[in-house]
Chains A and B, each alone.
Chain A
Amino acid sequence: MRKIWDIHGGVHPTENKTQSLSEPILQAAIPPYLYVPLSQHIGAAAKPIVKVGDKVLKGQTIADTSAAVSVPVHAPSSGTVFAIENKTVPHPSGIDDLCIVIETDGLDQWRERKARQNFNLFTDDELLSIIRNAGIAGMGGAGFPAAIKLKSSDSKPINTLIMNGTECEPYITADHSLMLEKANDIATGLAILAKIIKPKTILFGIEDNKLDVVNGIEAALNRIDFSTHSGCTTDVRVVTFPTKYPSGGEKQLIEILTGKQVPSRGLPADIGIVCHNIGTAVAIKDAVCLDQPLISRITTVTGEAVKRPRNYHVLIGTPVSFLLEESQYQADQNNRLIMGGPMMGFALADISAPIIKTSNCILAPTEAELPTPPPAQACIRCGMCAEACPASLLPQQLYWFSQGKELEKLEQHNIADCIECGACSYVCPSNIPLVQYYRASKTDIKQREIDHRNAELAKRRFDARQDRLIRLEQEKIAAKQARQAARKKANPPNNKPPAANASAANADTAATTDNTEREATVKAAIERAKIKKATHSKTTDDPVARAQAKREAQLAQDQADPEAKLKRAVESAQQRMKKLQVKLVAAKDSGDPNVNILETGLEKAQSKLVSSQKALDDYKKASNSED
């Protein structure tokens, strides 16, 4: 007899398991419609790969995913895809979720299957991908994809494999009946697990309220030589231990069987242990040896409101109402319908919700059997919850902090280690729904982490935007300064002011040209000055009127002497070109980025000069011919 350890706390609720064990597992009929949710476990939901109207065969993949923590979904029976839409799913929120609805044809026709009798011919990676592609997840109830748990990591070698046949929650007998009827399948599945994990020890944990299965399991295990499969000497033991709730919790079972505690917030793999449910072993055997994906499971239907409580081998997606009908459900006697057990389950808002991969029990109690809890009283600080807690937490403290939403304190008091077993609520003399508070606080903590991550992201984006705005502003200022500097260089400040400088430059060039032209310029300038004076002498304060007067005077002068106008155009074009040339030289010297702009400006000025010169010549020619 192997030594066993005890866990802290725990409770002993009435088991109520015999009712559903009076009859063997019954293969449930195929319902007319199957509602297969795309998200049935922890992790990302799969995406549909079939269309409405497609024919599907039993076991065909209907939704797939490439996400790491996720598995594909398969058609539980043959038929036609009737709809892909939001339907009631078994979830405590009562929120609808995406389901593939299959109208069954009753033929239950399998897709092509490749039976693999000798799994030793496959490598571990091949087996892992078979297990993942078979959609195996959540047979233990929490809904974790099995293949991920099985993936070995060199930093964390596994030396102990634990088979969880505990099923400690009252009423549920799905695993119990599975161990009674499918011991050989469990043993084969365990051999496949042993081949992948290569453990030194395999411990098969069974509570002592299921001693009737021990002989069958031991016989089945003895038929298999685990050492040849695992490639090392593997010691296989069936261990029974006293019934106590919640000894079937992963961390609790590990402590009972090995005396080791999984570190807080750690995984069993951290101490070289991995724990799998017997349901997973059977599903793996079916997937590997028979090429059958996870499309059905054993579900207990029990409670006093059903006349024939029993276990069903039921297709995933079967509506709960369909199963209940087979068990002669009396809706008038049932006070609330529960999916899962009385400790950790949740009430179903809608009877049409389907069975999913994690649905181990449908409990239909009467009011006398499971009365609606009375209103919660004040906490009297009796400390019974702390005595009952299997994770050695302080439920009372956690309750206060939850009420005050003190998330930091909750984390310091290790709320993350709460397994939500409900033992504290069970013993509370004030009927406080403690687990409710912890669940809410745990989701709050998770939400806060997500919020903080998002806030961090938003802050980074905000900062990046601020930086960009500042950078753009600086670039603008720098460009402006560069322009100013270029202008200064072109017109040295110790010289005359720019206007005078330009006219001086003009004078220099004018000196080289013939005197007549110079005279003409001077004349034109004088005339302009006269016009200016004339407009000024009108002494009008209105700038618009002044501008108009100036324009009129100029027009009058232009009409009198059109040649002067054309000459003026040529002059201004010449001046502009000269200015631009000077600027361009300065810009090229200082490496100003505006060189291109100046160059195009110069080109334009040149063409303008050519065209105005041409206009002048044309006019001169015309006037000459007139003469």
Chain B
Amino acid sequence: MIEFISLNPLLSALIALVALGLSFGAILGFGAIKFAVEGDPIVDQINAILPQTQCGQCGYPGCKPYAEAIAEGDAINKCPPGGEAGINELANLLDREPLALDDEHGQEDIKKVAFIREEECIGCTKCIQACPIDAILGAAKVMHTVISSECTGCDLCVEPCPVDCIDMVPVSVGTQAWKWQIPDRNPFYNANIIASDQRSIDSPKARH
């Protein structure tokens, strides 16, 4: 053995390297099969950020297909319901530049839910078939209604209605759901907010 190595240094080195390469290759190959990740984890992560309205405004038939498209390099700014916050989250996740929302796909809007004017409904079930999340209740020839707590405001039921009895109603903001807004550079931003700075209480000199 040693004799062979000393006699054929080049050949033995070659054999050793090839053997090493083959064995590591075998380990890697085995690992790739044994510990294979099912599905595409990045798609699931993207899908978790998307708002799941299934509205199709991005041009894909649902949020999952858009998530798959993003994973394959599509733009991250095609989702109006997700809005700026959604784009920022996607940008963070994918380490891409956060872009402004693409106007082509619609604008960020306040949250709305569908509302069926029930006396006008003829019970055609077209909206029920259009609703991607089964949030409309009803049967043929009986009046339908929207489960407003489940409605994502995707708009898809409005168009198929033959009697135009579906409205998109903005969700009312009560005192419980009200949100503070980031103050802008407008000097009058906090006309009705205090918690302010020292000059509103005493002069800076009086501070310790």
Chain A contacts to B: CB under 8 angstroms: 11-14, 39, 45, 89, 91-95, 97, 170, 336, 338, 340, 342-349, 370-376, 402-408, 420, 422, 425-429, 431-433, 435-437, 439-444, 447-448, 451-452, 454-459, 461-462, 464-465
Residues from chain A with a CB closer than 8 A to the CB of B141 are none
Residue B6 is within 8 A (CB to CB) of chain A in the complex:
no
Chain B contacts to A: CB under 8 angstroms: 47-48, 50-54, 62-63, 84-85, 88-89, 92, 132-135, 150, 152, 173-176, 178-183, 185, 187, 189-202, 204, 206-208
Residues from chain A with a CB closer than 8 A to the CB of B48 are 452, 455
Q: Could you show 9 A-B contacts with beta carbons less than 8 Å apart?
A: A13-B198, A91-B175, A91-B178, A92-B193, A336-B192, A346-B195, A373-B197, A374-B187, A461-B135
Residues from chain A with a CB closer than 8 A to the CB of B178 are 91, 93, 95
In the complex, the 3 A-B pairs of residues with the closest C-beta atoms, listed nearest first = A375-B187, A461-B133, A422-B195
| Chain B residue with Cβ nearest A170 | B201
B132 close to A433 (CB less than 8 A): no
B134 close to A371 (CB less than 8 A): no
B195 close to A420 (CB less than 8 A): yes
Across the interface, B133 reaches (CB within 8 A) one of A345, A370, A458, namely A458
A464 close to B189 (CB less than 8 A): no
Given contacts A407-B85, A455-B52, contact A14 B183 (CB under 8 A): no
Residues from chain B with a CB closer than 8 A to the CB of A429 are 204
Shortest beta-carbon distance, B6 to chain A, in Å? 61
B182 close to A436 (CB less than 8 A): yes
Q: How many inter-chain residue pairs (CB < 8 Å) link A and B?
A: 170
A454 close to B133 (CB less than 8 A): no
Residues from chain B with a CB closer than 8 A to the CB of A345 are 194-195
Across the interface, A402 reaches (CB within 8 A) one of B47, B84, B132, B182, namely B182
CA distance in complex: A495, B85 (Å): 69
A465 close to B194 (CB less than 8 A): no
Given contacts A170-B201, A373-B200, contact A461 B150 (CB under 8 A): yes
Residues from chain A with a CB closer than 8 A to the CB of B183 are 376, 433, 436-437, 440
B62 close to A347 (CB less than 8 A): no
CA distance in complex: A345, B195 (Å): 6
B134 close to A464 (CB less than 8 A): yes
Q: At the interface, is chain B mostly helix, strand, loop or mixed?
A: loop
Residues from chain B with a CB closer than 8 A to the CB of A444 are 85, 179
Residues from chain A with a CB closer than 8 A to the CB of B193 are 92, 346-347, 433, 436
Shortest beta-carbon distance, A468 to chain B, in Å? 8
Across the interface, A94 reaches (CB within 8 A) one of B85, B150, B192, namely B192
B199 close to A443 (CB less than 8 A): no
Residues from chain B with a CB closer than 8 A to the CB of A94 are 192
Given contacts A346-B193, A454-B152, A458-B150, contact A437 B182 (CB under 8 A): yes
| Chain A residue with Cβ nearest B50 | A455
CA distance in complex: A316, B179 (Å): 26
Residues from chain B with a CB closer than 8 A to the CB of A374 are 187, 199
Residues from chain A with a CB closer than 8 A to the CB of B54 are 458, 462
CA distance in complex: A347, B135 (Å): 41
A458 close to B190 (CB less than 8 A): no
Across the interface, B199 reaches (CB within 8 A) one of A14, A91, A371, A422, namely A371
A443 close to B179 (CB less than 8 A): yes
CA distance in complex: A455, B152 (Å): 8
CA distance in complex: A462, B182 (Å): 34
Residues from chain B with a CB closer than 8 A to the CB of A349 are 192
Across the interface, A92 reaches (CB within 8 A) one of B174, B180, B202, namely B180
Shortest beta-carbon distance, B14 to chain A, in Å? 52
Given contacts A407-B85, A458-B150, contact A435 B195 (CB under 8 A): yes
A405 close to B85 (CB less than 8 A): yes
CA distance in complex: A456, B62 (Å): 14
B52 close to A465 (CB less than 8 A): no
A403 close to B150 (CB less than 8 A): no
Shortest beta-carbon distance, A27 to chain B, in Å? 29
Interface centre among A342, A427, A436 (most CB of B within 10 A): A436
Residues from chain A with a CB closer than 8 A to the CB of B192 are 92, 94, 336, 346-349
A426 close to B197 (CB less than 8 A): yes
Given contacts A373-B190, A428-B197, A461-B133, contact A403 B182 (CB under 8 A): yes
B52 close to A347 (CB less than 8 A): no
- Known pairs A346-B195, A402-B182, A442-B180; list 9 more (Cβ under 8 Å): A45-B176, A93-B173, A93-B175, A95-B173, A336-B191, A433-B196, A458-B53, A459-B63, A462-B62
A440 close to B182 (CB less than 8 A): yes
Residues from chain A with a CB closer than 8 A to the CB of B206 are 14
CA distance in complex: A373, B197 (Å): 7
Across the interface, B51 reaches (CB within 8 A) one of A405, A422, A455, namely A455
Given contacts A402-B182, A455-B50, A458-B133, contact A425 B195 (CB under 8 A): yes
Given contacts A95-B178, A375-B185, contact A436 B190 (CB under 8 A): yes
| Chain A residue with Cβ nearest B188 | A372
Residues from chain B with a CB closer than 8 A to the CB of A451 are 51
Across the interface, B194 reaches (CB within 8 A) one of A97, A343, A432, namely A343
B181 close to A440 (CB less than 8 A): yes
Residues from chain B with a CB closer than 8 A to the CB of A461 are 133-135, 150
Residues from chain A with a CB closer than 8 A to the CB of B208 are 12
